[in-house]
Chains A and B, each alone.
Chain A
Amino acid sequence: MAKKDVTKPISLDPRGGRPREKCVTYIEGIDRILNGGLPIGNIVLLAGTVGSGKTTLAMEYLINGAKNGETCCYISVTEPSSKMLSNLQTYGFFDDALVKDGRLNIFDLTVINDRLGVERLDGTYSSKDMEALLGAFEDIVDELGVTRLVIDSITAICYQLPDKGSIRNFIFRLSQFLSTFGCTTMLISETVVDSNTQTYSIFGVEEAVADGVILMGNIIRQGDLLRSLQVVKMRGTKHSRARHLIELTPVGLAVVPLLKWGQDGGQAFT
Chain B
Amino acid sequence: MSIKDTAQSIIKSINGGDTLTSISLSAENFHEDTVKLVSVLVGKKLGGIYVTTSRPSSHIRAELEEAGADLSDLYFVDLVSMTVGGNTSDARTLFIESPTMLESILLNITLLERRLKSKRRFVMFDSVNGLSIYSEPKVLREFINVLGNSMRIKEIYSMLMTVKEQTDEELSSALNLLSDKMIGE
Contact = CB atoms under 8 A, between A and B. Distances in A.
Contacts of B101: 221, 224, 226
A260 B136 CA distance: 12
Contact of B143 (A251, A254, A259): A259
B140 to A, nearest CB: 9
Interface in B97-154: 97-98, 100-104, 106-107, 110-111, 134-136, 138-139, 142-143, 146
A226 B106 CA distance: 14
A143 B138 CA distance: 56
B104 A247 contact: yes
Contacts of A247: 103-104, 107
Contacts of B135: 262
Contacts of A221: 100-101
Contacts of B136: 261
A257 B146 contact: yes
Given A261-B139, A262-B139, A224 B107 contact: no
Contacts of B107: 245, 247, 249, 254, 256
Contacts of B139: 259, 261-262
Is chain A's interface secondary structure helix, strand, loop, or mixed overall?
Answer: strand
Nearest to A223: B100
B150 to A, nearest CB: 9
A260 B104 contact: no
A180 interface: no
A221 B142 CA distance: 15
B149 to A, nearest CB: 11
A258 B111 contact: no
Contacts of A254: 107, 110-111
A7 interface: no
Contacts of A257: 103, 146
B130 to A, nearest CB: 15
Interface in A203-252: 221-222, 224, 226, 245, 247, 249, 251
A226 B104 CA distance: 10
Given A224-B101, A259-B102, A251 B142 contact: no
A262 B102 contact: yes
Nearest to A222: B100
B100 to A, nearest CB: 4
B103 A261 contact: no
B114 to A, nearest CB: 9
A55 to B, nearest CB: 20
Contacts of A222: 98, 100, 134
A128 B98 CA distance: 52
Interface of A: 221-222, 224, 226, 245, 247, 249, 251, 254, 256-262
24 contacts: A222-B134, A224-B97, A224-B98, A224-B100, A224-B101, A226-B103, A245-B103, A245-B107, A247-B103, A247-B104, A251-B111, A254-B111, A256-B107, A257-B103, A257-B146, A259-B102, A259-B142, A259-B143, A261-B136, A261-B138, A261-B142, A262-B103, A262-B135, A262-B139
The 4 A-B pairs at the shortest CB distance, nearest first, are namely A245-B103, A222-B100, A261-B139, A254-B107
Given A222-B134, A256-B107, 5 more contacts: A224-B100, A226-B101, A249-B107, A254-B107, A262-B142
